[in-house]
């Protein structure tokens, strides 16, 4: 399994769980506010985006180093 992939799998799981909770709270307002799940969704999505970009940048640097070595 590639390095860093388990973090993305866990992040996707929590993103889905909190997304489902937010949708249920929109459909049934008597359950309560969906502010917390929506906030957590945004935080997880931003974390996943920045991590993904950093991972892509590292892979590009490694490929560039391998190209220059050959």
* Number of domain units in the chain: 1
Could you give the CA distance from residue 44 to residue 9 in angstroms, rounded to a whole number?
12
Alpha helices in the chain (DSSP H): 5-27, 35-69
- Sequence-distant (6+) residues with CB within 8 A of 47 are 11
Domain of residue 18, residue span: 4-69
The tens place of each residue's pLDDT in the chain, 70 residues long, gives 677 788 899 999 999 999 999 999 999 999 999 999 999 999 999 999 999 999 899 989 989 988 887 6
Model's pTM, two decimal places? 0.79
């Amino acid at each position: 399994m590639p390095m860093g992939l388990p973090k993305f799998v866990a992040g996707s799981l929590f993103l889905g769980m909190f997304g489902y909770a937010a949708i249920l709270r929109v459909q049934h307002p008597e359950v309560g506010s969906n502010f917390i799940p929506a906030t957590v969704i945004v935080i997880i999505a931003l974390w996943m985006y920045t991590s993904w970009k950093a991972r892509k940048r590292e892979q590009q640097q490694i490929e560039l180093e391998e190209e220059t070595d050959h």
